[in-house]
Chains A and B, each alone.
Chain A
Amino acid sequence: MAVDRSIWRELAISPSTDEREIRRAYARRLKIVHPEDDPQGFQALRDAYEQALHRARHAAWQDLQSAAPEAGPDADLHQPVDEDQPADRGETRLDAVATDDVLAGEIARDQADRTEHQRRCDALLAALNRPTVDEESILNALIDVFHSRALGALDTHQSTEHWLGQLAAQRSPAFAVLVEPTVAFFGWDRRPVGEHWSPGLGALQHREDLDTLKRLRSPGHPAHASFVALAKPMRFKDRVAARFSPDFRKQIGDLLARIDYETPYVLNYLNPNSIAWWRQHLSRPRFGLSSLALVIIPVAICALIAAVQNGAGRSTVPPLIMIAGGLIGGLLSVLAGHYFLILPRWRLLQSGRSSDFWISCGWAVAAAGLVLLAALVPPGLSDATTGVLVVSVGLIGAALVWWAAIVLDNDGFKTRLQWLFTWPPVFLPLWIVAQSALLGRPMLWVSLWLLLLLFAMGAVHLARRASSTPQTRRTADIGLISLAATGAALALASDVLPSAPLAVAVLYLAAAGGILASAHQSLPMLRIRRWATPIGVVFLALVSFSGPDTDVQTTGSTLFVWGGAWIGGLIALTTLGDRIGLFVKKKKKPRPRSLAA
């Protein structure tokens, strides 16, 4: 409304929809705010004037609409010739300058030409309206119109162009015949971009749709198979392909996206049921390689623990069973996570009721509970039981982290409260680890340490996927840094460590740096990661070379070393994966000369 007032102030009149008054006011002001002396003032005046005119015209148009509501597009469809004044004008001026006989003759012939043109237009309309599409007669009638001599006069040309533009824009087989010839005749496709309005716009769109359709229908087109799948009712073959061929899925997705974006008209030629099925299928969350890695890695770690414990003669469970159990448990947790956590969540989102607070934040509460449970496990349990506990706690933790990733991916941090809830996965385990260490239960705190590791990886995942907001990035950063710092401090302070506490600390720090860096894309971070990778690899090699210590007392320290080595390897792997585009989407090379409107 404030804008409103300033318009009228600029024009120095009271609000009005009278075009003449506005123009008069503009003319009056223009003599004071002269474009030569006061360019800025003039621009403001001009803007105000244009806005006022626009409003006035809009108001006039609305009046017209309310006065004659039945005057739809059909009413003015067939008015190829505006017979009212141009011819008369020519006639009246004839006397004034009747010196040139040739010119006078031209004008006299004009009227006859117009009548003839009108007749030809009628013939074309009749041909178009026949019940069956007779391409030849339509084309013949159209060619007759094109050859009308009356088209030489600009007003007839203009109105005929407009009329044919409207006809060619109509989406039906008979009218589709008009598209190519009219576009070629009036040269609509050669019109430049700045054109505010072209009578051929609709026809051009129609032509593009027809072109796309024709191309998609030819078997040589790369998207032909997808087009056929979408055009036919769902077949068993397609359902199978939808689940097992990511390529096919991608092709269909691309085709649908392109059709939606460029030529929605083509949708009319597709099977609505198939489209609906595919749209639903495509929009469902799906396992990516990176998600799988999240499951495989904890399993691998569990297997490693089993192997180390077995080697140390501490475990009664055979390593193979441990690994198999871990794998099966991992798969089950993933499937369970998918069907019980992610799909309901997704369905909720689909149904538009996604505001349930506990779904967004509940995972944090659940994780906290789990960690507490682990902390309260009574001492004196056998190592086998502890091992199983470690595996199960780790896997449930992984599922939770996964859920968190999805929730965060969909919502981000919406409220401050939610934001607060994202801290527990980082802080609680830290606190519990410290507690357990103090209480002197090495196996337990090692297991918790592993849990922490899982959370850390989850956080990396989160940070990677949700790093679009600075807030998430910062949270992940702080969490990871505290994790690394605690790890390093524990490594240095713990008396159970073997001879190389400093090395392990450095390893952790390097690992943390790498994790951190992979969550970022800014240049210094990339540089850190570049350095973290070789450091991690070197330490991995060193540690592997020294081999696990068989001394029972140093099992914990061995685990520490191996855990560190694993993180290093992990980072090396993810970095490598990043490079070759295995886990995450490949980053594009910076293109300096690019801008988006």
Chain B
Amino acid sequence: MIIGIDLGTTNSAVALWRDGKAELIPNSLGHLLTPSAVSLDETTGEVLVGLAARERQSTHPALTATAFKRYMGSNRVTRLGKKGFSPEELSALVLRRLVDDAQVFLGQPVTEAVITVPAYFNDKQRKATRRAGELAGLKVERLLNEPTAAALAYGIHELDDQSMFLVFDLGGGTFDVSVLEIFEGVIEVRASTGDNRLGGEDFNQVLIEDFGKAIGDRISTEDRADPVLRERIRAAAERARRGLTDSAEVIMSVTWKDQVFEHRFTADRFDTLCSGLVTRMRDPVLRALRDSGLHAGQLKEIVMVGGATRMPLVRRAVTKMFGRFPSNAVDPDQAVALGAAVQAGLKARDVALKEVVLTDVCPYTLGVEVSERGPGNMIRGGVFSPIIERNTVIPASRVQVYSTMEANQKFVKLPIYQGESRAVSDNIRLGEVEIAVPPAKAGEIAVEVRFSYDINGLLEVDVHVPATGERRELVIADEETMTAPEFSRRRAELAELKHHPRDADLNRAALARAARCYEDSLGDQRQFIGQHMDRFSFILERQDPREIEHARKELLQVLDQFEGATWL
């Protein structure tokens, strides 16, 4: 059984293809979404994943990690207490939890998965995601682009149609736009673009900045740097933003050192603050349309995906852009995971999906750095020479021939880049191949460079010098890959981490939320919550399941009274 996993910046989800349809798998709390958060309980040494971990974000910022997907593919180490974790390892912990949920749900072991990545993830980030899957003990069958997954979830119901549609995927940290076409059971991605630094978090940031301005000097500069306060403000901003989805006005309040700071936001004010972000959403949309050679009017549907598209602000902007309403056909939070499940079904050649083929594209241009001779024989270096153009259908393999520039050149160095700029300095460097060439006049030695971009979005470079028959192959990001023994060591270490027992998850999450509420509130309210927490802890020690369940419900009710139902 292959499962589909949406490994998101804020939330993750797991789904599977069964009986001709995709369905989401609930976690131990009964929720369909699991927050991508990891926290370490220092007293017990247990690792918490999911809602419980996210609730600890503002109470134990030094022991909790969230949004680590943003650092995938980098060497950044997150310290949780004494232990250091790479983004891959944190992701692996989340993946492990999702797999456990799936195993409990299915009653059978799960070892294979399709994992989604933002379309704009580069080679390094993709490799890191794949490693995360392997660290979690999964065989990653496929890395699927998120907007493509969302399109699959949507398109699988529209197969008989002959149509084009646009997927507008605004997630927690990334923004992807894809234009797709369905014909004759073929789902073809025509163009895929995006902005990998635009997402729900940026909207939070707008609120945080405005809140900071409103508070002014009332909080001292030293306090502002305090991680606990920062996390509280961030959480409050997130709550406020979600509040604005339903109501026209919301009060963002933060408790700090026995003082409550409040700031009122209206929907109009939020609109004005975010106008810059809304403008930034236009460019990728226009580019996707241009790349696919379409006019906005030719699109049949606009499919909205990603939690951030729930914001009325975003929906309004999209309506204005296209002159019509976006589709409500899929749930923005679940579409990606459901699409991953569809892909898993495709991969497993499920009977219901036999007649469906999906083709995806490479969302960015890949090439090498070269020098050129211009007029007057002057040499210009650092020029980007594309080999695989953006939006080429994958798997794709392209060859370019380059020649030496100087007489008796001894070797040719090929730095590999990803990006759209003519100057390599503005693009992302992926690696480098070097190959020796025999001495000869300038321009006499040809070097063939073949780029193969596979269906998972991983790049392979093959350099060949016909004059000597020499070949060099390079799988990008090799230099940063862990060695095999190190990999298995890390994997063993992760496996040894003490996980919080699954069946106690609910209690743990409730308690963590109560602790956060306690810190957020003041006076009588605080005391009241404290009493309830004490009572609940006391009941927990008695270990009577029925009694515990009852007490937990009561506690959650109390908390809901104070801050509204928890969001997911």
User: Are A and B physically bound partners?
Assistant: yes
15 residue pairs from A and B, CB less than 8 Å apart: A24-B184, A27-B186, A35-B395, A84-B297, A102-B316, A152-B320, A153-B296, A153-B321, A153-B323, A155-B295, A193-B386, A195-B287, A521-B441, A595-B414, A596-B372
Query: A36 to chain B: which residues have CB within 8 Å?
Result: 346-347, 455
Known contacts A192-B420, A588-B406; A27 and B184 CB within 8 A of each other: yes
For A32, the closest partner residue in chain B by CB is B357
Looking at the complex, which one of A254, A588, A592 makes contact with B410 (CB distance below 8 Å)? A592
**CB-defined interface of B400-429 with A at 8 Å, one 1/0 digit per residue?**
101111111111111000011110000000
Report the minimal beta-carbon distance from B282 to chain A, rounded to whole angstroms: 8
Known contacts A82-B295, A85-B297, A258-B375; A154 and B286 CB within 8 A of each other: yes
Known contacts A93-B324, A591-B405; A103 and B319 CB within 8 A of each other: yes
B319 adjacent to A591 (CB under 8 Å): no
Complex Cα distance, B184 from A31, in Å, reads 10
Query: A28 to chain B: which residues have CB within 8 Å?
Result: 184
Q: Which residues of A contact B (CB under 8 A)?
A: 23-24, 26-28, 30-31, 34-36, 39, 42-43, 46, 82, 84-87, 89-90, 93-94, 96-97, 100, 102-103, 106-107, 110, 152-155, 157-159, 187, 192-198, 254, 257-258, 260-262, 468, 521-523, 587-588, 590-597
Looking at the complex, which one of A23, A103, A193 makes contact with B184 (CB distance below 8 Å)? A23
For B283, the closest partner residue in chain A by CB is A187
Does B325 make an interface contact (CB < 8 A)? Answer: yes
For B420, the closest partner residue in chain A by CB is A192
Complex Cα distance, B186 from A42, in Å, reads 14
Does B371 make an interface contact (CB < 8 A)? Answer: yes
Known contacts A195-B420, A522-B408; A154 and B375 CB within 8 A of each other: no
Looking at the complex, which one of B287, B319, B381, B385 makes contact with A594 (CB distance below 8 Å)? B381
B454 adjacent to A522 (CB under 8 Å): no
Report the minimal beta-carbon distance from B56 to chain A, rounded to whole angstroms: 37
**15 additional A-B residue pairs with CB within 8 Å, beyond A36-B346, A86-B296:** A23-B183, A27-B185, A31-B355, A84-B297, A87-B323, A103-B315, A154-B289, A155-B323, A158-B290, A590-B409, A591-B405, A594-B405, A595-B402, A595-B412, A596-B443
B183 adjacent to A27 (CB under 8 Å): yes
Query: B183 to chain A: which residues have CB within 8 Å?
Result: 23, 27
B375 adjacent to A261 (CB under 8 Å): yes
Query: A593 to chain B: which residues have CB within 8 Å?
Result: 371, 381, 412-413
Complex Cα distance, B183 from A23, in Å, reads 8
B325 adjacent to A97 (CB under 8 Å): yes
Report the minimal beta-carbon distance from A319 to chain B, rounded to whole angstroms: 44
Known contacts A192-B421, A591-B405; A42 and B395 CB within 8 A of each other: yes
Report the minimal beta-carbon distance from B276 to chain A, rounded to whole angstroms: 15
For A149, the closest partner residue in chain B by CB is B320
B386 adjacent to A261 (CB under 8 Å): no
B376 adjacent to A254 (CB under 8 Å): yes
Complex Cα distance, B52 from A596, in Å, reads 57
Nearest first, the 6 A-B pairs at minimum CB distance are A192-B420, A27-B184, A594-B405, A194-B365, A155-B296, A154-B296
Complex Cα distance, B404 from A218, in Å, reads 39
**CB-defined interface of B439-456 with A at 8 Å, one 1/0 digit per residue?**
101010001000000110
Chain B, 354-377, CB within 8 A of any chain A CB: 354-355, 357, 359, 365, 370-376
Query: B316 to chain A: which residues have CB within 8 Å?
Result: 102-103, 106
Does B163 make an interface contact (CB < 8 A)? Answer: no
A43 adjacent to B402 (CB under 8 Å): no
B296 adjacent to A158 (CB under 8 Å): yes
B186 adjacent to A26 (CB under 8 Å): yes
Residues of B in contact with A, size category: 35 or more
Known contacts A27-B183, A591-B405, A592-B410; A597 and B385 CB within 8 A of each other: yes
Complex Cα distance, B186 from A46, in Å, reads 13
Query: B439 to chain A: which residues have CB within 8 Å?
Result: 522-523
Looking at the complex, which one of B290, B319, B384 makes contact with A107 (CB distance below 8 Å)? B319
Does B396 make an interface contact (CB < 8 A)? Answer: yes
Complex Cα distance, B328 from A521, in Å, reads 71
Report the minimal beta-carbon distance from B290 to chain A, rounded to whole angstroms: 7
Known contacts A89-B323, A106-B316, A591-B405; A596 and B373 CB within 8 A of each other: yes
Query: B328 to chain A: which residues have CB within 8 Å?
Result: 97
Query: A23 to chain B: which residues have CB within 8 Å?
Result: 183-184
For A109, the closest partner residue in chain B by CB is B320
**CB-defined interface of B269-308 with A at 8 Å, one 1/0 digit per residue?**
0000000000000110111011100011100000000000
Query: A102 to chain B: which residues have CB within 8 Å?
Result: 312, 316
Looking at the complex, which one of A87, A110, A258, A521 makes contact with B407 (CB distance below 8 Å)? A521
For A38, the closest partner residue in chain B by CB is B395
Known contacts A257-B375, A521-B408, A596-B402; A158 and B315 CB within 8 A of each other: no
Looking at the complex, which one of A39, A89, A261, A596 makes contact with B454 (CB distance below 8 Å)? A39
Report the minimal beta-carbon distance from B534 to chain A, rounded to whole angstroms: 46
Looking at the complex, which one of A96, A100, A196, A522 makes contact with B291 (CB distance below 8 Å)? A196
B409 adjacent to A31 (CB under 8 Å): no
Query: A468 to chain B: which residues have CB within 8 Å?
Result: 441
Does B322 make an interface contact (CB < 8 A)? Answer: yes
Query: B321 to chain A: which residues have CB within 8 Å?
Result: 152-154
Report the minimal beta-carbon distance from A161 to chain B, rounded to whole angstroms: 8
Query: B371 to chain A: which residues have CB within 8 Å?
Result: 591, 593-596
Query: B376 to chain A: which residues have CB within 8 Å?
Result: 254, 257-258
Report the minimal beta-carbon distance from B430 to chain A, rounded to whole angstroms: 16
B405 adjacent to A523 (CB under 8 Å): no
Looking at the complex, which one of B290, B374, B385, B455 makes contact with A197 (CB distance below 8 Å)? B290
Query: A86 to chain B: which residues have CB within 8 Å?
Result: 296-297, 322-324
A591 adjacent to B422 (CB under 8 Å): no
For A198, the closest partner residue in chain B by CB is B290
Complex Cα distance, B39 from A508, in Å, reads 85
Report the minimal beta-carbon distance from B286 to chain A, rounded to whole angstroms: 7
Looking at the complex, which one of A43, A100, A193 makes contact with B396 (CB distance below 8 Å)? A43
Does B393 make an interface contact (CB < 8 A)? Answer: yes
Complex Cα distance, B359 from A23, in Å, reads 14
Does B397 make an interface contact (CB < 8 A)? Answer: yes
Query: B396 to chain A: which residues have CB within 8 Å?
Result: 43, 46
Q: Which of B319, B379, B394 has the most CB of A within 10 A?
A: B319
Does B513 make an interface contact (CB < 8 A)? Answer: no
Complex Cα distance, B420 from A198, in Å, reads 14
Report the minimal beta-carbon distance from B462 to chain A, rounded to whole angstroms: 14
A594 adjacent to B409 (CB under 8 Å): yes
Report the minimal beta-carbon distance from A116 to chain B, rounded to whole angstroms: 15
Query: A100 to chain B: which residues have CB within 8 Å?
Result: 315, 325
Known contacts A107-B324, A194-B420, A593-B413; A30 and B408 CB within 8 A of each other: no
For B370, the closest partner residue in chain A by CB is A595
Complex Cα distance, B328 from A97, in Å, reads 9
Does B390 make an interface contact (CB < 8 A)? Answer: yes
Complex Cα distance, B427 from A192, in Å, reads 10
B411 adjacent to A592 (CB under 8 Å): yes
Known contacts A194-B390, A196-B291; A35 and B320 CB within 8 A of each other: no
Does B331 make an interface contact (CB < 8 A)? Answer: no
Query: B419 to chain A: which residues have CB within 8 Å?
Result: 192
For A31, the closest partner residue in chain B by CB is B357
Q: Which of B184, B371, B412, B414 has the most CB of A within 10 A?
A: B184
A153 adjacent to B421 (CB under 8 Å): no
Does B389 make an interface contact (CB < 8 A)? Answer: yes
For B301, the closest partner residue in chain A by CB is A93
For B294, the closest partner residue in chain A by CB is A158
Report the minimal beta-carbon distance from A278 to chain B, rounded to whole angstroms: 16
B408 adjacent to A261 (CB under 8 Å): no
Complex Cα distance, B160 from A27, in Å, reads 13
